[in-house]
Amino acid sequence: MRSYDELVAEAATADVTGWGFGWLDGRASEERPPWGYARLLADRLGAVARALDLDTGGGEVLAEAPVLPPRMVVTEGWAPNAERARARLGPRGVEVVEVAPGAPLPLPDGSFDLVTARHPVAPDWAEIARVLRPGGHYLAQHVGPASAFELIERFLGPLPDQRRGRDPEVERAGAEAAGLTVTGLRTARCRMELRDVGAVVWLLRKCVWWVPDFTVERYDERLRALDALLRTGEPFVAHSTRHLVEARR
């Protein structure tokens, strides 16, 4: 394994835009939920005329769908990701709309047959219900409670209040309060393995909400301790949590 300084320097300068994780190949792995979200998404997109994908990142997941609806719109709140989405999806006729997190969607009422999202920042159920036509559907894979908290709490210490966030049953109640009928809710807990400190640095730079004040300099001592642990040959193990939400207006 390369030195601590080499691994950290590489990860500290690597590109973290978009929503792909290919940089981690061979350095980290994560189990996938059993339902196969990309396949489900592709099936639904091929069967509707108008669809909206929220918080699309660089459009990586949507781009896997072989067939897109005649009208396909995506939203993204971070400008570098929106640019990637335009480059990736624009040639397929997809409209990319930049929307700040928490802002209303600049889209007409009842304008979509299907609204989708993979790991939305925070689902705005009232807005989702508003832009769906009557009888339209929502399909999304959400991040669940305490996802990757073994890693997060290694840097920030115990976070008992935050562990209670993103509860799928609370989200079900929010969706139904907005006028949606939740027709399916499945949960999964998936094993993550990190094999070198560079993978840790890259992830914390990409998922900036995990450790909001993260810099290599600020957390040098904890990174070096984690590096020493990883050099024993055992990966650092954490668990991601996910839930698949299906709803109808």
**172-189 tens-digit pLDDT:** 999 999 999 999 999 999
Q: What does the alpha-carbon distance between residue 95 and residue 230 come to, in Å, rounded to a whole number?
A: 44
Residue 102 pLDDT class (50, 70, 90 cuts): confident
Angle, nearest 10°, between helix axes 4-13 and 197-206? 20
Would you state the pLDDT for residue 81? 92
Q: Where are the beta strands (DSSP E) in 146-219?
A: 181-194
**13-39 tens-digit pLDDT:** 999 987 788 999 999 999 999 999 999
Q: List the one residue out of 24, 19, 39, 63 whose CA is nearest residue 244.
A: 39
Average pLDDT over residues 108-116: 98
Q: What does the alpha-carbon distance between residue 225 and residue 42 come to, in Å, rounded to a whole number?
A: 43
Would you state the pLDDT for residue 235? 97
**Torsion-angle region of residue 93: left (phi > 0), alpha (psi -120 to 50) or beta?**
left
Average pLDDT over residues 231-244: 97
Domains and CATH numbers, the chain: 4-248 (3.40.50.150)
The neighbouring-strand residues paired with 75 are: 97
Q: What does the alpha-carbon distance between residue 47 and residue 83 come to, in Å, rounded to a whole number?
A: 27
Cβ neighbors of 135 (< 8 A, separation 6 or more) are 248, 249
The CA-atom distances, in angstroms, between 195 and each of 24, 25, 186, 200 are: 10, 10, 29, 9
Q: Is the entire prediction scored with pTM above 0.85?
A: yes
**199-233 tens-digit pLDDT:** 999 999 999 999 999 999 999 999 999 999 999 99
- Cβ 237 vs Cβ 191: under 8 Å: yes
Q: What does the alpha-carbon distance between residue 138 and residue 158 come to, in Å, rounded to a whole number?
A: 34
Cβ neighbors of 226 (< 8 A, separation 6 or more) are 154, 197, 200, 236
**Residue 36, both tokens:** 């196969």
Residue position matching structure tokens 């700040």? 100
Residue 160 pLDDT class (50, 70, 90 cuts): very high
| Mean confidence (pLDDT) of the chain | 96
Would you state the pLDDT for residue 25? 94
